[in-house]
Amino acid sequence: MIVVNIETVPGHRIVELRGLVQGNTIRAKHLGRDIGAGLKNLVGGELRAYTELMTEARREALERMIEQARQLNANAVVNVRFTTTNVASGAAELYAYGTAVVVVADSDVTPPTG
């Protein structure tokens, strides 16, 4: 599956539109991460536990979006975007979405005869 955050796939032509695909996950912080983050806030620096949490969430949302594209028999997803939203105290949703398409390599496209 080709996944890009631009409107086209370089070296390929979009031949079919399959539709909007999406994947999401909602993750909650836990007490251990909160305590560590609170201490880190006192001295500054990266909140690695939260970075790991968001990395896992992005991966899971992306995998769910790709699975939806496979169900539509697409071989690429273009114009992929991510967004996050707080859904409850201590919980956030990570949402991935894009357009499922079928692409063929430019070399596989027969030029029109004239």
Tell me the torsion sign for CA atoms 67, 24, 82, 20.
Answer: positive
Domains in the chain, number: 1
The residues pairing with 54 across neighbouring beta strands, listed in sequence order, are: none
Digit-by-digit pLDDT tens for the chain (114 residues) are 999 999 999 999 999 999 999 999 998 876 455 545 455 455 566 667 778 888 999 999 999 999 999 999 999 999 999 999 988 777 889 999 999 999 999 987 666 665
Domain containing 88 equals 2-108
95, two tokens: 């949402």
- Residue 22: inside a domain, yes or no? yes
**Beta 12-28 vs 91-105: how paired, if at all?**
antiparallel
Cα–Cα separations (whole angstroms), residue 25 to 1, 13, 30, 50: 20, 31, 16, 15
CB 104 within 8 A of CB 12: yes
Residue 113 in any domain: the answer is no
pTM (2 d.p.): 0.81
